[in-house]
Structure 1
């Protein structure tokens, strides 16, 4: 089963009945590889599995023809919204305006429809017409083999930038790095440090009602659904972290906040979308950080061996200190 230990029933029972019954009928091996379930009004029911999109029939079979695929109805989508919001849209309004709702167990449901604006900002989304159920899987130990390049006895944590195209496992790796820094690693004589996670899109810790659904370590504090530039400064002032972890930097506000953290002696581990050093050198604001050698390590990801493939690890002068491709199988939770 998908995430059996992570409240799989929460995922199943957030699906409208017809779709739920289709997913239940899937082959067990297919369920284990399931990444996304897509519902769009008057469109075929689709899943994303093994880096491919597939149509599903009413009897839970993969089909290649639109004529054989189950067509999602408006009633399906209405019921889906009721289920993921527990029939209380207002209670989830802050999440909905960001385009998603996080379920117990760390599953996240993206939604789209008509945006209602107030003073130039999104107040909520109505007439919801599409859902993307994202299947979260925590990979315990996926970062173990590379931690020796990120931490050093007795308590050094290198400023690290993970460079990755979409869907290559950067958040999964980042999450496990947080766990290892927080808990410590006896084999590296590293006792563990206080970690603060600013989880703007609730993807790293996957908090549900403030409680992380993922294991991010017992010395870790999480600021959920908070803009990165605000959260970084808040955590520095309030939680005395040794390390701040956040995902997908890019805005000038993010960069300025990171500078504040570095000036305060706090290590930063974060991510950016890109293929390699040359690619992110073309990104405004990021290029200055690279030119100023503000990061000590660069971890470059791809899908060469599947999601989570590490192509290389570079030092602050962009010299390779680890060459891949390398991918570690991990224990799924």
Structure 2
């Protein structure tokens, strides 16, 4: 049973049974919207299978999906719900929209759920390998930041880059500490895909996890998904000052986009990262562009 199968209620799994195995394996996201049929996303394109078109989803359907992600209870995942999404066992990320219940300016829960996005984790072994000759410096990968708009595979590329370092594939083998705050990089069986020298700390705030790994696991490389808070940056600055290589991701499609946000301006100004990988989409295929210190290689 795959991570996606574990995250789905029975009715939704049955709807996916109409897909051929290869097509089902290629699904990157499922989109559920109350009053509309199920849709899937592959290579950035959203489509609806003919078998789904006459079956609009209900709010009850959406709640069943959330309950499955919460192992039977929405209350068990309230803390994650307040962040706008939930990570179910196996790393399936569930984004949530609807009518929020707010008290004193803080989101408590959702009165109504109107849209869900299930992002399916993929282990695409080998996608980082062609980038290694452009990343390597003296036989080792330096601190690298992976950037793209949402949904283009930053986490998937980061996961395979961790695997390459952990195995010593195309580069010197390194111990990699993985700060997996939301369980998307190495949760469950995904941990085995990261290789024999990866140590994963799950369900811990990213900034705290980075420092705990630094102090307790003697990593040569630290990896984290999605830099979003000043505390993440502070922790990375501390680790960089201790001689640890850093791997991370951030939302952004260009230098110009990064420069519009104060956190990323500070990140670039700190000089923590020596290499940058931009992911874009062209004719339905992902394109990886390596840049060095702001200039194309």
Question: TM-score if structure 2 supplies the norm length?
Answer: 0.85
Corresponding residue of 1:256 = 234
The answer for unaligned runs of 5 or more in structure 1 is: 61-67, 322-333
Corresponding residue of 2:148 = 164
Selected match of 2:177 from 191, 196, 209? 196
Selected match of 2:120 from 119, 135, 154? 135
Instruction: Report the Cα distance in structure 2 between the residues aligned to 1:118 and 1:130, rounded to whole angstroms.
Output: 22
Selected match of 1:180 from 158, 161, 164? 164
Change (3 A) 1:87 1:247: closer
Selected match of 1:42 from 32, 35, 43? 35
Instruction: Report the Cα distance in structure 2 between the residues aligned to 1:313 and 1:50, rounded to whole angstroms.
Output: 21
Corresponding residue of 2:296 = 320
Corresponding residue of 1:10 = 6
Matched, 1:150 2:142: no
Q: Give 1 or 2: higher helix fraction.
A: 2
Instruction: Report the Cα distance in structure 2 between the residues aligned to 1:16 and 1:126, rounded to whole angstroms.
Output: 24
Change (3 A) 1:16 1:42: farther
Larger Rg: 1
Moved over 6 A (4+): none
Instruction: Report the Cα distance in structure 1 between the residues aligned to 2:3 and 2:211, rounded to whole angstroms.
Output: 34
Question: TM-score if structure 1 supplies the norm length?
Answer: 0.77
Matched, 1:275 2:253: yes
Q: SS of 1:197's equivalent?
A: strand
Matches within 5 A, 1:39-188: 39-57=32-50, 59-60=51-52, 68-116=53-101, 121-153=106-138, 156-185=140-169, 187-188=170-171
Change (3 A) 1:280 1:89: closer
Instruction: State how many pairs are aligned.
Output: 297
Change (3 A) 1:132 1:240: same
Instruction: Report the Cα distance in structure 2 between the residues aligned to 1:9 and 1:285, rounded to whole angstroms.
Output: 37
Instruction: Report the Cα distance in structure 1 between the residues aligned to 2:268 and 2:74, rounded to whole angstroms.
Output: 43
Instruction: Report the Cα distance in structure 1 between the residues aligned to 2:101 and 2:217, rounded to whole angstroms.
Output: 36
Instruction: Report the Cα distance in structure 2 between the residues aligned to 1:171 and 1:268, rounded to whole angstroms.
Output: 15
Change (3 A) 1:164 1:70: same
CA RMSD after TM alignment? 2.8
Instruction: Report the Cα distance in structure 2 between the residues aligned to 1:200 and 1:307, rounded to whole angstroms.
Output: 29
Change (3 A) 1:250 1:127: closer
Provide, for residues 152-204 of structure 1, a one-character-per-residue CA deviation record: whole Å limited to 9, x for no partner. 456x441112221222221111111111111212x54x1x1111111233222
Change (3 A) 1:276 1:110: closer
